[in-house]
A = this chain, B = another copy of it.
Amino acid sequence: MSTDINQYVQAVLERNRRMVAKAITLIESSLPEHQEQARDIINKLLPHTGAATRVGITGVPGAGKSTFIESLGIHLLEKGHRVAVLAVDPSSKRSGGSLLADKTRMEKLAARAEAFIRPSPSGGTLGGVAQKTREASLVCEAAGFDIIIIETVGVGQSETAVASMVDFFLVLMIAGAGDELQGIKKGILELVDALVINKADGDNIPKVQRAQHDYAAAMHFLRPATPTWTPPVLTCSALETTGIATVWQTVLDHRKKLSETGELEEKRRRQALDWMWMLVEEGLKEKFNKNPNIKKQLPRIIRTIEKGRASPTEAAGELLRLMEDQSARQNPAGSPHYPH
* A131 partner residues in chain B, CB cutoff 8 A: 313
Does A80 sit within 8 A of B, measured CB to CB?
A: no
Could you list 9 further interchain pairs (A-B, Cβ under 8 angstroms) beyond the known A42-B311, A284-B288? A39-B313, A43-B311, A182-B223, A187-B190, A218-B221, A279-B317, A281-B285, A327-B330, A330-B334
Q: Is the CB of A283 within 8 A of B331?
A: no
How many chain A residues touch B (Cβ–Cβ < 8 Å)?
63
Mark A residues whose CB is within 8 Å of B. 32, 35, 39, 42-43, 46-47, 50, 131, 135, 138, 181-182, 184, 186-187, 190, 218, 220-223, 269, 272-273, 275-277, 279-281, 283-288, 290, 301-302, 305-306, 308-317, 319-320, 323, 327, 330-331, 334, 336, 338-340
Determine chain A's interface SS by DSSP, over half rule: helix
Q: Is the CB of A305 within 8 A of B187?
A: no
- Tell me the number of copies of this protein: 2
Q: Is the CB of A339 within 8 A of B286?
A: yes
Cβ 8 A contact of A284, one of B184, B273, B284, B313: B284
With CB as the reference atom, state the residue of chain B lying closest to A269.
B306
With CB as the reference atom, state the residue of chain B lying closest to A332.
B331
* A269 partner residues in chain B, CB cutoff 8 A: 305-306
Q: Is the CB of B221 within 8 A of A279?
A: no
Q: Is the CB of A221 within 8 A of B308?
A: no
Most buried by B among A35, A302, A311: A311
A310 to B305, CA, bound (A): 42
Q: Is the CB of A46 within 8 A of B308?
A: yes
* A279 partner residues in chain B, CB cutoff 8 A: 312-313, 316-317
A38 to chain B, nearest CB (A): 9
Q: Is the CB of A280 within 8 A of B320?
A: yes
* A276 partner residues in chain B, CB cutoff 8 A: 301, 305, 312, 315-316, 319
A180 to B338, CA, bound (A): 48
* A275 partner residues in chain B, CB cutoff 8 A: 312-313, 316
